[in-house]
Amino acid sequence: MKNELIEEAVNIGQELGYVFLTTADTNGIPHLTVATRIDITPKGQLTVAGWFCPGTVANLENNPSIGVTVWDKERDAGYQLLGKREALREIAILDGYDPKLEKGPPSPQVERELVMHVEKVLEFKKAPHSDLEEH
């Protein structure tokens, strides 16, 4: 049943075109970012990709705990997928120079893919819910 729920969460994330990725540093300070792709590997691992900011990357390198949240607000249906980082891969590097970027804060230069092992699946919605693991 857990694998079916993970597949359902991935389908929601793919339909939406984004998911939320929560990490924490070694002091437990949380950080939230948006990833633009979610999928499942043939081995059943979850993959999440995007142009993650430096805080997300630093957290993933130092603390393997991760939360991925998908939520369809129209249906008020979603899931929290909680687990551990198995890999963090560079999948694209920005190629080119844009002088306009020098005037603002630095942008991420590398697109990364996170591979994670899902340990728990929790329901996520605005309506009251239990935060108990889905089975």
For domain 2-123, the CATH class is mainly beta
**Tell me: the pLDDT tens digits for 71-84?**
999 999 999 999 99
**25-46 pLDDT, tens per residue?**
999 999 999 999 999 999 989 9
Residues 119 and 21: their CA atoms lie apart, in Å, by: 15
Task: Please state the pTM of the whole predicted model.
Answer: 0.83
Give the separation between CA 70 and CA 49, rounded to whole angstroms. Answer: 14
Cα–Cα distance between 116 and 85 in angstroms, integer? 4
Residue 92's pLDDT band, with cuts at 50, 70 and 90, is: low
Where are the domains positioned within the chain? 2-123
CA–CA separation, 64 vs 84, rounded Å?
5
The pLDDT confidence band at residue 89, using thresholds 50, 70 and 90, is: confident
- Per-residue model confidence (pLDDT) at position 53: 83
Q: At 66, is the pLDDT very low, low, confident or very high (cuts 50, 70, 90)?
A: very high
The stretch 78-95 carries a mean pLDDT of 84
